[in-house]
Amino acid sequence: MKEKNVNDNDIEKEEKGQDEKRDDLVYEYDLQYFSGIREGLLAKEIAEGLNDMKSIRYYFSIALEYSERYIREIYRKVKETPEHKIKRSRGALFTYLIRKYEHLDTDD
């Protein structure tokens, strides 16, 4: 069994730092791309409003799949829900409600 030495740890830290920089660049690119299209603006609004920017790609996929009217109705319900009634997070509640009531989304 090979023991890790100090150099191995330094290499792992450097690789992790490079991965984080790459993730930051991808995230910035996504924000620029999303800001250029209607669904992206909606995704950004939802992500910021739910304090869940890490999930902006998910909200973008929701914006592509469902009508804006439906998304905004669910978003409004989530924002109006008192904090003490939310078990996990507003983002999780939004996701749950989007899926639970998707049969009500009649606009395309």
Supply the pLDDT for residue 104.
Answer: 82
Q: How far apart are CA 97 and CA 77, in angstroms?
A: 9
Tokens 């800001």 correspond to 35
Tokens in use for 46? 């939802």
What single DSSP character describes residue 58? Answer: H
What single DSSP character describes residue 4? Answer: P
Reading the chain (108 residues) residue by residue, the pLDDT tens digits are: 555 555 655 555 555 555 555 555 555 656 666 666 888 899 999 999 999 988 988 999 999 999 999 999 999 999 999 999 999 999 999 999 999 998 888 765
Closest CA to 76 of 58, 54, 57, 97: 97
